[in-house]
Amino acid sequence: MLWETPSHEDIVELTKAHVAAMESGSTDDAIWQQVGMHHVLLHTIGRKSGNEHKCALPTWRDPDGVRVVVGSFAGATSHPSWVWNMMDREANPRVRIKHQTGEYWSDHEILEGGDDRDRLWALLLEDRAWYADYQAKTDRTICLIRLPETEVIS
């Protein structure tokens, strides 16, 4: 690992600052590529509040080139709130994704178990081994979320 994992409280505060930088309109690599990983700005609708929420997340590309985010929250006992929001298909039938050079709508796919999730998890760990440490910290299965580009936003 290239860094020390921050606390859950610090992750929340760091994410707020990262979201603000991503919304600045800059395509600067220093904003979009943190600790050696490309990031996206995920927009969801709160399943309880109905409000828009934004989260900066590192991405990984699966063998088909589709962006994948990991619902780890550094091994917390529960899914992060953005994952719960995405699981609510009524509030979030699709999600908006902003990346360094553009923006799109995604008909996201949540992988909580099964052969496809296990295959992708093994591939992810070859590239980002620290996720195994996060999985070891929790009894829940850390989900993977595919973010295919369904509709480009111009």
Say whether pLDDT at 11 is over 70.
no
Query: In this predicted structure, what is the pLDDT of residue 4?
Result: 67
User: What is the percent of the chain where pLDDT is above 90?
Assistant: 71
DSSP H or E stretch at residue 9: helix 8-22
Least confident of 8-12, 61-65, 131-135: 8-12
- What is the number of H-type helices and E-type strands within the chain? 5, 10
Domain count, the chain: 1
Burial of 44 (0-12, 13-18, 19+ CB in 10 A): buried
pLDDT band at residue 38, thresholds of 50, 70 and 90? Answer: very high
Say whether pLDDT at 2 is over 60.
no
Q: For residue 94, what are the domain limits?
A: 8-152
**DSSP β-ladder status, 37-45 and 52-58:** antiparallel
E-only strand ranges, 18-150? 33-34, 37-45, 52-58, 60-61, 67-70, 95-99, 102-106, 109-111, 144-147
* Domain contains 1: no
* Domain contains 130: yes
Say whether pLDDT at 28 is over 60.
yes
Q: Is residue 98 within 8 Å of residue 41, measured between CB atoms?
A: yes
* Domain contains 33: yes
Say whether pLDDT at 1 is over 70.
no
Torsion of CA 122, 3, 17, 126, to 10 degrees: -10
Query: In this predicted structure, what is the pLDDT of residue 67?
Result: 98
Tell me, what CATH number does 78's domain have?
A: 2.30.110.10
Say whether pLDDT at 135 is over 70.
yes
Sequence-separated (6 or more) residues with CB below 8 Å from residue 42: 54, 55, 56, 57, 69, 82, 95, 96, 97, 147
149 CB neighbour count, 10 Å cutoff: 17
pLDDT band at residue 47, thresholds of 50, 70 and 90? Answer: very high
Query: In this predicted structure, what is the pLDDT of residue 7?
Result: 65
pTM of this structure? 0.89
pLDDT band at residue 35, thresholds of 50, 70 and 90? Answer: confident
* Domain contains 2: no
Structure tokens at 121: 């998890």
Query: In this predicted structure, what is the pLDDT of residue 112?
Result: 94
